[in-house]
Amino acid sequence: MIILTGGAGFIGSCMVKELNNRKIQDIIIVDDVKEMSNCKNLATLKYKDFVDKSQLTGLLNSSENIDLVIHMGACTSTTETNGDYLMKNNFYFSKEIYDWCANNNCRLIYASSAATYGDGSLGYDDSLTEQLKPLNIYGETKRLFDQYVLSSKKKPPQWIGLRFFNVYGPNEYHKGSMASVIFHSFNQIKKQGKVNLFKSYKPGVNDGEQKRDFVYVKDVLSVIMFMIDNKAINGIFNIGTGEARTFNDLAKSVFNSLGLDPKIDYVDMPNGLAEKYQYSTQADIVKLRQAGYKQDFYSLELGVMDYVLNYLNKGFLNY
């Protein structure tokens, strides 16, 4: 039996599909029924039950034979400023799950974030946690939970934290402003024939040449399944391709996938963002490779093409 928090969301619902592909249906989805704009993600999936996140404590106390908790549920908005809300959803909620897993001999795989690295001045080494300085409250709540996990004396039989970099792909359609730039670029092209990217305010970095480690959700699923299959692996791991690419590259890939010539405009950043903006992120995936994960990651061009042609251009098809 698997408990999957955030199971109606982007990565969570894709994970349900991936488990279904393995004929696994003994899944209890935990999510917030008050925010079910993502209910379409579950329409064709097979699972045992759906439980509101407010009932998590009762679920844990009454459940037997839970083998694994995949904890994807969180407030994922990097622009959220309500510290109490973020701590409740990203730290205390996660802490409750972790403590239960540690006390009940249950494996745990949870979502951390590359936002823990802050401006990247300390690099992107997934052995770093305590000394990191995130640029926003969201990143700090993720860092705090990583630190709690690392410092806990009692641990689950398997514990995996996954620091996701810039994940994109099907089932993210409900995320609004937090959806990937690929998703927004596709919509901009369809509506106005061009893509808007942020101007650069850093000397030496041209407009649109800001970089991110864009990772396709299908690669994320592959890594999670690898962790599930290898119970002896523990630790916090970066989940990215290990190669930073520019937003210009991304926009051009969307245009190329649609058979169109690129047309890019550069616009001002919103007030308050420029001083907290990361100009380059790139996952250090040495530890992931050392753990035995050998599969190649999608290139940006191939990932974008698959996403655009097989999902976005087919009426936002679900995974």
Q: Output the pLDDT for position 286.
A: 98
Quote the tokens at residue 210.
Answer: 């800001």
Angle between helices 10-21 and 217-229 (to 10 degrees): 60
Q: Which domains does the chain have, with CATH numbers?
A: 2-166+214-239 (3.40.50.720), 169-212+244-282+299-314 (3.90.25.10)
Report the alpha-carbon distance of residue 29 to residue 12 in Å, rounded: 9
Report the alpha-carbon distance of residue 215 to residue 224 in Å, rounded: 13
Question: Quick check: 166 and 307 in contact, CB under 8 A?
Answer: no
Q: Output the pLDDT for position 295.
A: 98
Catalytic annotation, residues: 138, 175
Q: Output the pLDDT for position 38.
A: 60
Q: Output the pLDDT for position 247.
A: 98
pTM attached to this predicted model: 0.95
Q: Output the pLDDT for position 36.
A: 61
Long-range contact set of residues 74-77: C-beta below 8 Å, sequence gap at least 24: 74/6, 74/111, 74/142, 75/138, 76/9, 76/138, 76/175, 76/178, 77/138, 77/178
Report the alpha-carbon distance of residue 61 to residue 295 in Å, rounded: 38
Instruction: Give the residue ranges of the chain where pLDDT is below 70.
Output: 35-38
Quote the tokens at residue 46.
Answer: 């097979």
Residue 248: which H helix or E strand, with range?
A: helix 247-257
Report the alpha-carbon distance of residue 65 to residue 153 in Å, rounded: 24
Q: Output the pLDDT for position 37.
A: 61
Question: Quick check: 220 and 164 in contact, CB under 8 A?
Answer: yes
Q: Output the pLDDT for position 80.
A: 80
Q: Output the pLDDT for position 33.
A: 74
Quote the tokens at residue 287.
Answer: 């530890």
